[in-house]
Amino acid sequence: MSTLLITGGTVVSATGRTEADVLVDGEKVVAVLAPGSTLLGHDLTGSVDRVVDATGKYVIPGGIDAHTHFELPFGGTNASDTFETGTRAAAWGGTTSVIDFAVQRTGERVEDGLAAWHEKAAGSCAIDYGFHQIIGGVDEFSLKSMELLADEGITSYKLFMAYPGVFYSDDAQILKAMQKAADLGLLTMMHAENGPAIDVLAEQLYRQGKTTPYFHGVARAWQMEEEATHRAIMLADVTGAPLYVVHVSAKQAVEQLAAARDRGKNVFGETCPQYLYLSLEDQLGASSQEWGDLEGAKWVCSTPLRSREEGHQHAMWQGLRTNDLQMVSTDHCPFCMKDQKELGKGDFRAIPNGIGSIEHRMDLMYQGVVTGEISLERWVELTSTTPARMFGLYGTKGVIAPGADADVVVYDPNGHTSIGVGKTHHMNMDHSAWEGFEIDGHVDVVISRGEVLVSDGEYHGRAGHGSYLKRGLSQYLI
Ligand SMILES: [Zn+2]
Ligand SMILES: [Zn+2]
């Protein structure tokens, strides 16, 4: 077991900041000390194995990205990051835990889907990883299987109100699953979009010759998100199940969450960097020399990027400030343009849905601190502390305190990060959805359970360092 001391930095938590040194022994934080402390008369810097100088920098708990899809089969292809490449990119960007989605579809057994996900991840991950369970086919067998999830360390599961024929659940199925979840204490995660109505709108647009990526955003109208969000809240309310709505992008959906929360309901919402920074007009409507108007396919994801004119991006930042949205995850689901996104040339419905952001979440959210959208403490809360609480990891993760895992990031507010292919880009993608973004900060050192994964611009991590996180029940319920 080796010891490590992080000296001279400002330790930031969800509730404050303080000048402190952080002492790590093996995999754990063992002390947060006044700067320059001695221990039993010994100068600590001389008696530890390694000193990390964090002078002038922030020392924060490692990021937790609670929404990723490594190797997800979608639209006849697979998300291009494996557990190995995706978790390595995460580490580069200051994320030290991920929660990915194991998949069960209609006619498949939940146990088989989960076993397949364990097999993909085991021995591959650079950082710690847990799972949510997608229940894509609610029937008597999958409902029964939900009883096993908590013992497996999976205390949240996801349903879809979109993608008929793939992952979709109708209202009767949702109600039954939520009743089960309420009994078991599981958190229901919801993809809240009215999929059957969206599919009709999409087909009508296609028949009118409106086939470019822009119309992906038009078909997936905000009304479809608001309506589904409201319906999910009501179904949850009648069952007593807590509800977590994933990838919220419409301001009207935030209003639905806020109204439910004002009534004291256990209703939560997550948004993603793409809904804070990118838009229907600027990205989905883009064209380039290389790809023509297929360029916008780089940003096809669901829920879609929304109109800047309508002010959705502004509303997402506001929701993060008012805690009507509690978390920022990435919904990392990368596809290359070549052979993947280009499947949708001439038909936006055939573009695989997803954006890759896992490497940049901590930086992109820090930029929100720089521009005054959120406070430094809120940055830590949104990206680490609340994800830990929401998904039953708090105490071990999400905080720098004695007894917690030594997942620590040293972040330099005087550093700079240029995002883009050939600059900062370690995800397995042939383009970046964030090309040209400039960040007024830099991830300097990344430590996962006491091991330095990134320092001095070099990667020291390895596949297999990451271990499986058996999660407890949500620690965020009211
Ligand atoms: Zn989704
Ligand atoms: Zn997702």
DSSP structure string for 1-54: --EEEEEEEEEE-SS-EEEEEEEEETTEEEEEE-TT-EETTEEHHHHSSEEEE-
Measured in Å, residue 18 CA sits from the centre of ligand 1 at 38
Give the class (CATH, top level) of 62-390. alpha beta
Q: Nearest ligand, CA of residue 166? A: 1
Q: How far is the CA of 68 from the centre of ligand 2 (A)?
A: 6
CA 283 / ligand 1 centre spacing (Å): 20
Residue 69, Cβ density class (10 Å: 0-12 exposed, 13-18 middle, ≥19 buried): buried
Q: At what angle do helices 251-262 and 222-239 cross, to 10 degrees?
A: 20
Task: Using only the alpha carbons of the chain, give its radius of gyration.
Answer: 22
- The rounded distance, in Å, linking the Cα atoms of 289 and 294 is 10
CA–centroid distance, 421 to ligand 2, in Å, is 24
Contact (Cβ atoms closer than 8 angstroms) between residue 337 and residue 431: yes
Which among 195, 133, 143 has a CA at the least distance from the CA of 164?
A: 195
Q: Which residues of 419-432 are buried (b: 16+ CB within 10 A; e: fewer)?
A: beeeebbbbbbebb
Q: Is 296 within 8 Å of 272 (Cβ atoms)?
A: no
Residue-wise burial string across 162-173, b where 16 or more C-beta atoms lie within 10 A, e elsewhere: bbeeebbbeeeb
For the stretch 381-412, pLDDT in tens is 999 999 999 999 999 999 999 999 999 999 99
d(CA 108, CA 102): 12
pLDDT of residue 39: 82
Residue 19 CA to ligand 1 center (angstroms) comes to 40
Domain boundaries, the chain: 3-60+397-414+439-459, 62-390
Which residues make up the environment of ion ligand 1, defined by Cβ < 5 Å?
191
User: What per-residue string of b and e applies to 323-340 under the rule 16 or more CB within 10 Å gives b?
Assistant: ebbbbbbbbbbbbbbeeb
Distance 160 CA to ligand 2 centre (A): 10
- In the reported structure, the alpha carbon of residue 241 is separated from the centroid of ligand 1 by a whole-number distance in angstroms of 19
pLDDT tens profile 160-213: 999 998 899 999 999 999 999 999 999 999 999 999 999 999 999 999 999 999
How far away, in angstroms, is 86 Cα from ligand 1 center?
18
Ligand 1 centroid to residue 160 C-alpha, Å: 7
pLDDT at 261: 98
Q: Is 96 exposed, middle or buried (0-12, 13-18, 19+ CB in 10 A)?
A: buried
In this structure, the number of other CB atoms found within 10 A of the CB of residue 416 comes to: 10
Q: Of 379, 363, 380, which Cα lies nearest the Cα of 437?
A: 363
Q: Please name the CATH architecture into which domain 3-60+397-414+439-459 falls.
A: Roll (2.30)
- The pLDDT value recorded for residue 41 is 86
Which regions of the chain are under pLDDT 70?
Answer: none
Q: How far, in Å, CA of 356 to CA of 197, rounded?
A: 27
- What is Dmax (Cα atoms) for the chain? 79
Helix axes 251-262, 312-322, angle to 10 degrees: 20
pTM of the model: 0.98
